[in-house]
Every structure is written in C-alpha cells, then in structure tokens.
Amino acid sequence: MSFKRKSILATTFGAFSLSCLGACLFGLYRLWALLGMQGTHDEAMPTVTQLVVPGGVPIIAFSKDSRYLLAAANSFNKWEVQELHGELHVWDVVTKKEVHLEQFEMFVRSISFHPDGRKVLVASSNNTDGSPGFEKLGHVTIFEFPSFKVLDQQQLGNSIGSEGAKFSPNGDWIAVHKRDSKELWNPEQIMIYRSRDLKHTATIEKIYRMPAFEFTPDSKFLMGVNYYGNGANPAFEMQLFDVESGVMKKQYQSAAINKFQFVQGHLRLLFAEHYWTYEPNGELSYHKNPEGRGGYFSEDGRYAVMAGRDGSKLHPRATIVSLWDIEKDRVARIPETPVMLNRAPNCTAFSPNSKYFAIGRTAHREIPIAGPPSPLLGDVLLFTMPE
C-alpha cells in the first residue's frame, strides 16, 4: 500500500474516530442534562389515585386543613336541557374515600374556602356561553364545612364565570363574576358582597371576557385581566380595582392570562408556555413552562405542577404531568400510568400543606351520527407527594 493511500486511510479513520467521540460526548451531555433537569425514575415520585365522577371536572379545591378534596362534576345531555346538573364530590385525601355528595340543578362554577376553613362558597349556574339553560338564575351558596349545612344563599344573574365566586383573603368580602346577556361582546360585572350577610356593596362595571381575577393579599383590591380589543387586534389590560368602591385604580398593558395566583405575597401570572412573576418591587422574572398549558403553584411557593395533553398519535388524549421543584430548578415528568390515558386535564390544585396535588379531567366523548352521545365521564387524579 502506498504512503499516500495510508495517509488517506489514517486521516479518514481519525476523522471517523473524532466524530464517534464527539457523538458519545454529546450523548453523555444530553444524558447529564436529562438527569439534571427531568429527574430519574430512581427518584421518589408522587403516587396517583384515580377518583372517577359522572361528569367533566372544571374546578377542584382542597380544604384549608388539607384533609379533604372537593371537585365539581358537571354534565348535560345536549338534546335534553332539563338534564343539566352539577355535583360536588368530597373525598378524604388520606383514606381516598368519598365522604359527601352535594347535588345542584346547574353547573358548579367555583369553589372557595373562607380563610377560617369552616365555610365554603359554591357558585352554580348555566354555561357562560348562554347554552343550555341560560334562562335559569345562578346561585351562590355559603355552606358550613364539612357538614354542608346551608348558611346563606343568593340568586345572581344568569351566568357565573368559571372560578367566578371567591372569598377575600381576610374573609370579609365575596366577589362574583356574573354575566346577564347571551351576546358575546356585552359587558360583564363583578359584584362585591359583604360575606357576613351577602349585602351588595360595590359593582365593577364594563369588563369583557375576564378569565381570571384575584383579591390582593391585603383584601383591599381586586386584580383581573380585561379584554378590550377585537378579534383582529386583541388587547389586554391588568386592572386593579378598589374593593370597597369598585373603582379602577391602576391599569397595566398585559398579555392574555388564563390564571394567576398570589404566592407568598408575589403575583405569579400563568401563561400557556411560560410564567411571568411580578415581585413586590415591580421586577419581572421569566420561567419556561416545559409541559402543557398552564400550571399551579403550591402555597409555600416551592412547587408548581403542570398538566397537559400528550398529543402523540399513540395516546393523543393522554395526560402528561410535570412537577417543578422551584428551589432546585428541576422539572420531573411523572411517569405515565394507565389511569392517565384518554382524558384531558382541565384544572389543578395543591393542598395548603403541599403534601398533595390534584388534576381534574374530562373524558373524550364519542358522538355518534345518530342518537345520544356516550356518557360524559371525568375523574380527579389525586397525587401524594413522597415523604
């Protein structure tokens, strides 16, 4: 073999070896990154329990002592408006047993606990899109908890928004987001009531399609995102309202926000693909949401859980769940189990003690060409954090 040919072979072999070495190093780097950011299956992961209910689950909540989990289950037959109804299910999170069932004539729209934990506010109404059953009046009911003795009740407008009724952090006020018209662009209102006697004290006027609102931690103001653009040029404002008068005090340019929370006094805005965190000093910080479409923070601010849909051809409606340890900046995807298939996530909640979190879901329903659809079933996935 000539010297020139040997040189060519040596050069080719050397390049091939370097390429293989580079690929191996890159593979090791990717493995290190995966183990560092996504966790390993050797790590202790939350355990999951499936709680099945006869309807879609749009809202869930834990009791203040973290002992009970509450979930709304709503269902209707689109051919029979009279069958519109909602249920409120209550489970003991330790035994995983259902301990109470409360029936409603309309959909359960929101669940909110008084800060003392001994009262729960439940709003019920028809769908916010005005169909079916829009002629029925919505209700807000204050129950004693956990006995569910009715303490007070009020009829309020035609429709109450999702998560549209809640106690203020000090328990003195109740805010209710209501809508009285079937027309899409007609203005809506947020009504402010005194919680001790449900006396109406103020009204926040001319809001449009507000998907979320919250009281500030001091209960002096209410914050919400107001949509004031049009389909071609959408525009959003974060608006701050005085609770006692209903008057807008401040407004900020914003993006579309599906949900936000006050966590440890900080306002965290949840977007579909990322988080913006507003600190008390006005600074903003950006966080990537690695999975799904929104998430929920624990009250101590240590964790956030994100639930989304797989979207793959194999399991297009499977639920994927990721747990973000904020202190360690680690995201662990919880391994899929059979109970996580064939249902789409709607809502998420953490228990106040951060030992549990839950995801409310709705099953995919087959609608045949003729005849009624299959029953709409939902469930709640209750996750128990490892010790």
Rounded CA separation 337/356 (Å): 18
Residue 105: pLDDT band (50, 70, 90) is: confident
The predicted pLDDT at position 29 comes to: 37
User: Could you give the number of structural domains in the chain?
Assistant: 1
- Within a domain: residue 82? yes
- Within a domain: residue 191? yes
Which residues does 312 contact at the CB level (< 8 Å), separation at least 6?
A: 318
* CATH, residue 162: 2.130.10.10
Residue 134: pLDDT band (50, 70, 90) is: low
- Within a domain: residue 290? yes
Q: Which residues constitute the domain of residue 224?
A: 50-384
- Within a domain: residue 113? yes
- Residue 102 vs residue 257, higher pLDDT: 102
For the chain, give me the number of helices (H) and strands (E)?
A: 1, 28
- Within a domain: residue 43? no
Rounded CA separation 248/345 (Å): 34
The predicted pLDDT at position 115 comes to: 97
Residue 115: helix, strand or coil by DSSP?
coil
Do residues 149 and 170 touch, judged by C-beta distance below 8 A?
no
Q: What is the DSSP string of 322-361?
A: EEEETTTTEEEEEPP-GGGSSEEEEEEEE-TTSSEEEEEE
The per-residue pLDDT for range 247-287, each reduced to its tens digit, is 998 887 766 666 778 888 777 766 555 566 666 665 666 66
Mean per-residue pLDDT for 57-62? 94
Do residues 209 and 162 touch, judged by C-beta distance below 8 A?
no
- Residue 254 vs residue 17, higher pLDDT: 254
Write out the H or E segment, with its range, that includes residue 163: strand 159-167
Residue 311: pLDDT band (50, 70, 90) is: low
The predicted pLDDT at position 265 comes to: 77
Sole residue written with tokens 């979320």: 212
Do residues 243 and 195 touch, judged by C-beta distance below 8 A?
no
pTM reported for the whole predicted model = 0.81
- Within a domain: residue 35? no
- Within a domain: residue 6? no
- Mean of all residue pLDDT scores within the chain: 77
Sole residue written with tokens 């071609």: 232
The per-residue pLDDT for range 220-244, each reduced to its tens digit, is 999 887 776 665 666 777 888 999 9
The predicted pLDDT at position 80 comes to: 45
Highest mean pLDDT among 23-37, 107-121, 183-197, 341-355: 107-121
Q: Strand locations in 234-313, DSSP E?
A: 236-242, 248-254, 259-263, 266-270, 274-278, 284-288, 295-297, 303-309
- Within a domain: residue 211? yes
The per-residue pLDDT for range 188-222, each reduced to its tens digit, is 889 999 999 999 999 998 887 777 789 988 999 99
What is the percentage of the chain residues whose pLDDT exceeds 70?
67
Rounded CA separation 317/366 (Å): 13
The predicted pLDDT at position 275 comes to: 62
Residue 26: helix, strand or coil by DSSP?
helix
The predicted pLDDT at position 314 comes to: 55
HSE-CB at 331 with a 13 A cutoff on CA atoms is 17
The predicted pLDDT at position 156 comes to: 79
The predicted pLDDT at position 100 comes to: 97
Rounded CA separation 219/242 (Å): 9
Residue 3: pLDDT band (50, 70, 90) is: very low
